A and B are shown apart, each in its own frame.
Chain A
Amino acid sequence: MSEQGSKETPDEDPGGPPEEARWLTELYDAHYGPLVGYIARRLSRGSLQEAEDIAQDVFRMALENRGRIVRDWRGDEPVWLYWKAKGQIPNDLRWFLRWRERWCRTVRREDIEPEPDHAPGVVSRTAVRRVLAAMSPEDRQVLQLYYWDDLATRDIGRILGINPNAVVQRLNRARRRFREGWAAGGGASGEGEA
């Protein structure tokens, strides 16, 4: 992956300042895939393609705002990508939902790309989702950022705009509630699911 990326780097600068192109290309190589995953997990009805579109918009914005990012997010440039993407997803969905409501007779609801169905979980995908669904949005969010997106608590804090210590507290609380939910039956009924 990185090998191919580095090979193409010289072609990817169409004449703009090389420093900007190099900066963006390094960010892109290292974080494009994870960012697409981050966005796709939050698009309730979006496809991976849709997530890629949003991710590309975020990188475009990064290039446009490079000066401010380098100044205000020095060392945390990748976190800026997630922070920005977080704001893009609701915008997209809001537009989309509004449109769908207005024009449902034109474009059928069921024609919207559904959430991709990934490989069946070994044991308990549905049960885990049921436990997550029963949790508060704040608890669910921090669990997903920590376990699904594999982000550090400090980065989560910057993305959510809260103190890292508060993230740790929220994460501990979310873990506890997840365990409780699982023990209370959310997991038991999912055992054995294909």
Chain B
Amino acid sequence: MTDDDDIRALLDTANPVPARAVAGLAATPAARAALRRILATPGSASGPRARRRLTRRRPRGPKSRAGMARWIRLALPPVAASALVVAAIVFGGGAPDDGGRLDDPAGSMAPVAAEVFLPGLDGRPRGITSCAGPASGASRRAVTPLPPLTGYPPAGAVLSDLSRTAERQPAPERRPKERYSRIRTAEWSMDVTVGSALTSTRIVPREVRRWIPVDGSKAYVEKDSTGLKSYLIPDGIPWVARAPGDADGVRRWLLDGSRTAAAEPVEAGDTRDAGDAGAAADAGDTVGRLAEAVARVYRYNTVPPRLAGLIWQVLAARPELRALGEMADRRQRAGTAVAFDLPGERWVFVVARDTGRLLALERVLLAAPRKMYVATPCSAGYFLLDASTWTVRVGAAS
């Protein structure tokens, strides 16, 4: 018990994570998928300097002009700091929640593509790239506009089909001990800095896990590449635990949440959550408010399939929604696309046709002020729902 080997043998018995527990870990499907995500992270291949620039948050900028600031507030999700205007558009994603209980499928998922392809009127996909633009007007280029939504068929029938499909899915019950929704998303936010002489846009891709108390308590925990943080939950979130059991009730439930959320301050020092409530709520349009509320439902809740069905049923009644056709989301998951227009932008829901789960929400900028120097249409944000389930513990894998 005195020489080196004995000490090693003794310490081995107390090793909380023996080497055998992690042997071969790099070869597991989840680890390979993680490696692919790391290598595919936009900006990662362009070197440390570029990456630092991408991830720097809330840059200081010159004072904005009133008109531009107003446009930003109307057309993009809000946010403003005193001497600068930063519009942070956050899309969190929809999520393939898997019917309420979904094991984390990250291991089998494709990396997030930088470009999304929307179905065109002629059936040919149209690639939409990021709005992250140059800070100079010199490289602004003209891009063919997206076809008007009126050219696409109404989405009522498609959404009704999705509603029925979702309601047919198995509906596992949440166990009483499972007090948290664990939601994993890939999101993309766009920061816009507007000044009298300079405008710059940048994209901030994030893969996020959130643990959110299902009872609507006041805080939740979020983890991304910058670490573990807690955030206040804004008021007005439509909580699944309080969702009615009929379509009309669900419509009122969604609209109530949207109205409250629109004016809701978000956590001190953090403006990102305000993004969801932005353009849609400001537009004062019912379909916009409904869609914004749906985004919030999926962002903060694990949505059971029956409720997902009711949500699609509510949206099916809205004539503004149009069926774009089949498309793949940024993780190459097949779905059907349903879209509507708000002033200056188009929202696209991608829903899995075989399960009725929300896969993704894309936000496409159709027009931008000249000073933004971005070529529209372009992608202003997205939200991919990678996994959504209930869990007993924060930080637990299941």
Binding site for B on A (CB under 8 A): 1-2, 4-5, 8, 11-17, 20-21, 24-25, 28-34, 36-37, 40-41, 45-53, 56-57, 59-60, 63-68, 88, 91-92, 95-96, 98-99, 102-103, 105-108, 111-113, 115-116, 118, 121-125, 128-129, 132, 143-144, 147-148, 150, 175, 178-179, 182-183, 187
Contact = CB atoms under 8 A, between A and B. Distances in A.
Interface stretch (B7-15, B335-343, B352-360): B7-15
A47 to B, nearest CB: 6
B21 A118 contact: yes
Interface of B: 1-2, 4, 7-8, 10-19, 21-27, 30-32, 34-41, 44-48, 51-52, 111, 179-180, 209, 211, 213, 217-219, 221, 223, 225, 227-230, 392-397
Contact of B10 (A4, A36, A64, A124): A124
A121 B51 CA distance: 46
A5 B393 CA distance: 32
Nearest to B177: A111
B395 A121 contact: no
Given A60-B44, A103-B219, A113 B394 contact: yes
Contacts of B209: 53
Nearest to B218: A106
Given A92-B228, A99-B221, A179 B7 contact: yes
B15 A148 contact: yes
Contact of B38 (A8, A33, A56): A56
B395 A115 contact: no
A108 B395 CA distance: 13
A57 B228 CA distance: 12
26 contacts: A14-B39, A15-B45, A16-B46, A17-B45, A33-B22, A33-B23, A36-B17, A36-B22, A40-B22, A45-B395, A48-B21, A48-B397, A53-B209, A68-B48, A95-B229, A99-B219, A99-B229, A102-B230, A103-B217, A103-B230, A107-B221, A108-B179, A112-B394, A129-B14, A144-B11, A182-B1
Contacts of B218: 103, 106
Contacts of B11: 128, 132, 143-144, 147-148
Contact of A36 (B25, B39, B227, B393): B25
A132 B110 CA distance: 44
A1 B24 contact: yes
Give me the 10 closest cross-chain CB pairs, A-B, nearest first: A16-B45, A32-B26, A33-B25, A99-B230, A128-B14, A33-B22, A49-B397, A37-B22, A106-B217, A1-B27
B180 A21 contact: no
B396 A113 contact: yes
B14 A175 contact: no
A192 B52 CA distance: 55
Contacts of A17: 45
Given A50-B395, A179-B7, 20 more contacts: A24-B35, A32-B31, A32-B35, A36-B22, A49-B397, A51-B17, A52-B34, A57-B225, A59-B35, A59-B38, A64-B47, A64-B48, A64-B51, A92-B227, A99-B219, A107-B180, A113-B394, A118-B17, A118-B21, A175-B4
A52 B211 CA distance: 17
Contacts of B393: 111-113
Nearest to A49: B397
Contact of A91 (B10, B111, B219, B227): B227
A67 B394 contact: no
Contacts of A122: 13
B311 to A, nearest CB: 27
Given A4-B27, A147-B8, A96 B228 contact: yes
Given A21-B39, A33-B22, A50-B395, A102 B219 contact: yes
A182 B229 contact: no
Contacts of A115: 16
B31 A40 contact: no
Contacts of A125: 13-14
Contacts of A5: 26-27, 32
Contacts of B217: 103, 105-107
B356 to A, nearest CB: 29
A89 B21 CA distance: 20
B40 A111 contact: no
Contacts of A52: 25, 30-31, 34
Contacts of A2: 27
A24 B38 contact: yes
Given A46-B395, A47-B395, A111-B394, A37 B41 contact: no
Nearest to B13: A121
Contact of B17 (A40, A49, A124): A40
A112 B10 CA distance: 29
Contacts of A56: 34, 37-38
Contacts of B27: 1-2, 4-5, 29
B188 to A, nearest CB: 16
A132 B14 contact: yes
Contacts of A107: 180, 211, 213, 217, 219, 221, 394
Given A116-B16, A129-B14, A178 B48 contact: no
Contacts of B227: 88, 91-92, 95
A66 to B, nearest CB: 7
Contacts of A15: 45
Contacts of B396: 47, 49, 113
Nearest to A121: B13
